Amino acid sequence: MPRNSSRILAATAVAGLAATTLSITAATSADASGGHPRNKPTVVLVHGAFADSSGFNAVTQKLVRDGYPVIAAPNPLRGVASDAAQVKALLNSIEGPIVLVGHSYGGSVISKAAAGDKDVRALVFLSAFVPETGESAAELSGKFPGSTLGDTLKEVKLPGGHTDLYIDQKLFPQQFAADVPARDAKLYAISQRPIDQAALGEAAAGPQAWKTIPSYDLIGGADKNIPAAAQEFMAKRAKAKVQYIQGASHMAFVSHSVTTASFIERAARETDK
């Protein structure tokens, strides 16, 4: 091999090693600090019924890319009070300010979980319930015409007298995710998590966090689970800052992930203290 070629190969190898070392060092430094500036709030994402945290993947990617620490909270979907207690325990483990986000039934959960929590700077409701004390998800979804959820549900009887509710997989795409690519909607239908029927009928109890914490509400105009009129009613009552996505389904946070992430970041910026 010509001597010049040997020198070029050697130089390339050294440069490659240096680049690899730099990448490892940068990654290590990012990991050591959590990979995020400490002055940004932690975004906690709470999924709703018939879903899991994987639906937040695209939203999470943008938030993390923009420097926000993110935690996707597991929502048991067993009952508003018990689910809220679990989310509240998670919130108590987080240091610093928090932006708490809830989708659908998750809105009922965060309204309870954040009550009295001074670290929660903003509540962000995504096609979500924003209940007043004494109201249930079932009551609110039927307050205005337009919800077709009931006709799509399948019951699974559980030991102890409880009943789990699923959306029929064949009906899931049109009911829950009409503006999501069909291939993805079918996967969400398969991976959906059931909710205890009693949870949808459980009345909100105690103080609701939206009465004291700034609220933001992202409303999908073509939501077949929670009619837009119901979402508008709840948002107005909570004095929430509202953004509409015309034609968006109940999974607007999936079909419009960039808009959703930007809306969450807006809440973080505007409530920065």
Give the residue among 98, 172, 84, 178 at the shortest CA–CA distance from 131.
84
Could you tell me what percent of the chain has a pLDDT over 90? Answer: 85
What size, in residues, is the chain? 273
Quickly list H helices, the chain: 3-32, 57-65, 80-92, 105-113, 137-141, 172-176, 182-191, 197-201, 228-237, 252-255, 257-270
* Cβ neighbours for 104, distance < 8 A, ≥ 6 positions apart: 47, 48, 49, 51, 126, 127, 128, 129, 225, 226, 250
pLDDT bracket for residue 38 (50, 70, 90): low
Domain regions of the chain by residue span: 41-270
Least confident of 38-52, 96-110, 198-212: 38-52
Give the residue among 72, 71, 29 at the shortest CA–CA distance from 47.
72
pLDDT tens figures, 262-272: 999 999 999 99
Specify the pLDDT at position 28: 31
**Cα–Cα distance for residue pair 86/88, rounded to 1 Å:** 5
**Cα–Cα distance for residue pair 256/212, rounded to 1 Å:** 28
Radius of gyration of the chain (CA): 22
Q: Could you tell me the CATH superfamily of domain 41-270?
A: Alpha/Beta hydrolase fold, catalytic domain (3.40.50.1820)
Mean pLDDT of the chain: 89
**Cα–Cα distance for residue pair 95/168, rounded to 1 Å:** 40
Decide if pLDDT at 10 tops 60: no
**Cα–Cα distance for residue pair 263/185, rounded to 1 Å:** 23
pLDDT tens figures, 46-91: 999 999 999 999 999 999 999 999 999 999 999 999 999 999 999 9
Q: What does each C-alpha distance from 161 to 23, 117, 196, 197, 201 come to in angstroms?
A: 55, 34, 11, 11, 15
